[in-house]
Amino acid sequence: GVLPLEMDQVALDALAERVVNRFRTQTQIHEIVVNFPSDFPVIEGDSGRLEQVLDNLVSNAIKYSPKGGRIMVSGQALPDEALVTVSDQGVGIPFEEQSRVFERFYRGVREHHQRTPGAGLGLYLAKAIVEAHGGRIRVESGPMKGASFSFAIPYQQIFK
């Protein structure tokens, strides 16, 4: 079924800041940086749901960077969509697994040497939420190169 959304105006930059502040108190070995342009658009969306997406991507970034490092949450205003990227310097995702990370209950090789809790629903749910907003989500990674998850939500110029 389609996820029901409670639409409102959402400032993803403020949302990212809030999510990151919560995680900063939970890790001492990661530097979490938030970087959004000052003209980042306000979009129409479900802020609670979009917060879940950010929450999931940032917690994954922490989980899969066991040695710490920098986690970057950045925004980019494209002509008709707002793009948010969460990147880490962690263990990365093997190329052959990248198309499957958004599948339900998917738990990849990363799980085997990681012993991390979670039923693999996080990214599946993140994808469902983004797609319910008419958006898209993707991953770029390589083994030991860290991972970069991006999602884009369409918006109308009137909110600027």
Does some domain include residue 36?
yes
Query: Do residues 126 and 57 make contact, with C-beta atoms less than 8 angstroms apart?
Result: yes
Number of domains in the chain: 1
Does some domain include residue 62?
yes
pTM metric for this prediction: 0.89
Pull the structure tokens for residue 14: 């403020």
Does some domain include residue 2?
no
- Domain interval for residue 69: 8-159
How many Å separate Cα 150 from the centre of its chain? Answer: 6
Residue 160 has pLDDT above 60, yes or no: no
CB atoms within 10 A of CB 89: 20
Pull the structure tokens for residue 118: 């979670």
Pull the structure tokens for residue 51: 């917060």
Does some domain include residue 141?
yes
pLDDT digits (tens, 9 = 90+) for 55-82: 999 999 999 898 999 999 999 999 999 9
pLDDT digits (tens, 9 = 90+) for 105-158: 766 655 544 445 454 678 999 999 999 999 999 999 988 889 999 999 998 765
Which CATH number characterizes residue 49's domain? 3.30.565.10
